[in-house]
């Protein structure tokens, strides 16, 4: 895959980081990284048939209300 990558700095909750590490470690045979996992998850989200803006707003509200 020859896609231009742009690095951005992000902050994640500690429990999210632990889950990312667990996935990366369980997928060691793929030689994957946290960054690649996050990129794939975001790619799948943006390719889905949902209204991404509305879904993102819904998730932010649920997160802020500690419902996620």
What is the pTM for the complete model shown?
0.82
pLDDT digits (tens, 9 = 90+) for 7-42: 999 999 999 999 999 999 999 999 999 999 999 999
The structure tokens listed for 60 are 């932010």
Note whether residue 5 is domain-resident: no
Note whether residue 50 is domain-resident: yes
Question: C-alpha angle with apex 22: 39 to 43, nearest 5 degrees?
Answer: 15
> Which of these, 21, 46, 47, 51, lies nearest to 34 by C-alpha position?
21
Note whether residue 35 is domain-resident: yes
pLDDT digits (tens, 9 = 90+) for 50-65: 999 999 999 999 999 9
Domain of residue 26, residue span: 14-64
Note whether residue 55 is domain-resident: yes
Q: Give the integer Cα–Cα distance in Å for 44 and 57.
A: 17
Note whether residue 20 is domain-resident: yes
Note whether residue 30 is domain-resident: yes
């Amino acid at each position: 895959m020859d896609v231009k990558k742009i690095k951005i700095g992000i902050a994640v909750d500690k429990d999210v980081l632990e889950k990312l590490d667990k996935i990366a470690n369980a997928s060691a045979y793929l030689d994957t990284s946290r960054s690649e996992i996050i990129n794939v998850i975001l790619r799948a989200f943006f390719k889905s048939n949902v209204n991404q803006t509305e879904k993102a707003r819904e998730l932010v509200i649920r997160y802020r209300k500690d419902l996620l």
